[in-house]
Structure 1
Amino acid sequence: MSETQSIIVEKTVAHAPEKIWRTLTQSALIAKWLMPNDFEATVGHRFTFTTKPMGDWDGIVRCEVLDCDPPRLLRYSWKGGSDANPRYGSRLDTIVTWTLTLADGGTHVRMEHSGFRLPQNQSAWDAMTPGWGHVLDGIARVTAENI
């Protein structure tokens, strides 16, 4: 039986929630801090992120917007990988949740990427944990550049 693990990263960013929301939900801005995509902030919208293929994985993350409450909450599924890649590219069926809360000095940004099955997704979890921390820095940078 698998247990599940989450990646949680948090940071206060020196911008209003509405500015950060724009960075999280405009496709061209998302591409600057994460990956090329066809995102739309509409519940039920299916979209993809595209990155370099690895082994039997085609490099496409298939997603669907599950919840969208501007400028407070964004949740989407995150599915990708391949059953033939027992290491990094193992199949993921996970959820990404962004929560924005007004805070002293700006907005508290919390990202939780949940549903990593262990041990099957251990390598992906190990690789993505530090990556999501860097993503928050990218969101802060892109928001500042696009005010």
Structure 2
Amino acid sequence: MSQHVIVKDYPYPRPLVWAALTDPQLVPLWTSAGQGGRPEGFVPKAGTRFRFVGKPFPGWDGIVLCEVLDAQAPSLLRYTWRNKVGDSPSLVTNRLEEVPGGTRLTWSHTGFRGAEGFIMARLLGSVRRKMLSRGLPAVLNDLDAGEHLQPGGALHPGA
């Protein structure tokens, strides 16, 4: 079984990082570094079934099927991940903890199985490193204390 774990520290308070991870309007700005999936039907509440809809490519329709297993604001978000209905789910976990100077995010994606799972784990690991190193910090940098994009910011120019 393959897995990926990425740990990143951000110089922002936990509620702000939580908002960037869970606000359906903000998520597409950082997933796949701003070119990726938008959550449809997502609410950070256990039992919520939702879809990530991204750009399709040959062999993938661009849709990931998910279900929230646990959501404890602002510290834990855990959900299943399936590329197709018949797939065994893998598990995405976001843990947020306060650290001096900000928030530590521990992101993990576990439960990949077989050769297809190994390939998917490698692909997603690379994409996630980019998202969490570039995409999420850009969104966090543009959020004000009220968890809204700042007018005139890089992600929300001229608003």
TM-score (norm 2): 0.80
Q: Is 1:55 the counterpart of 2:55 in the alignment? A: no
Q: Is 1:109 the counterpart of 2:112 in the alignment? A: no
Identity %: 31
Contact preservation (8 Å) 1:78, 1:93: yes
Q: Is 1:123 the counterpart of 2:106 in the alignment? A: no
CA distance in 2 between partners of 1:92 and 1:50 (Å): 19
Residue equivalent to 1:96: 92
Which structure shows the bigger proportion of residues in strand conformation? 1
- Choose which of 10, 27, 36 in structure 1 pairs with 2:24: 27
One-letter amino acid of the counterpart of residue 124, structure 1: M
CA distance in 2 between partners of 1:6 and 1:122 (Å): 9
Moved over 2 A (4+): 52-57
One-letter amino acid of the counterpart of residue 36, structure 1: R
**Shift of the alpha carbon at 1:51?**
1.5
One-letter amino acid of the counterpart of residue 39, structure 2: N
Structure 2 unaligned spans of 5+: 32-36, 145-159
CA distance in 1 between partners of 2:67 and 2:84 (Å): 16
When structure 1 is superposed on structure 2, of 118-127 and 99-108 the one drifting more is: 118-127
CA distance in 2 between partners of 1:110 and 1:25 (Å): 15
**Shift of the alpha carbon at 1:57?**
2.8
**Shift of the alpha carbon at 1:126?**
1.6
SS state of the match for residue 20, structure 1? helix
Q: How many residues align?
A: 137
CA distance in 2 between partners of 1:11 and 1:143 (Å): 13
**Shift of the alpha carbon at 1:19?**
0.4
TM-score (norm 1): 0.86
Q: 1:82 to 1:69 in 2, by over 3 A?
A: closer
When structure 1 is superposed on structure 2, of 66-75 and 28-37 the one drifting more is: 28-37
One-letter amino acid of the counterpart of residue 116, structure 1: F
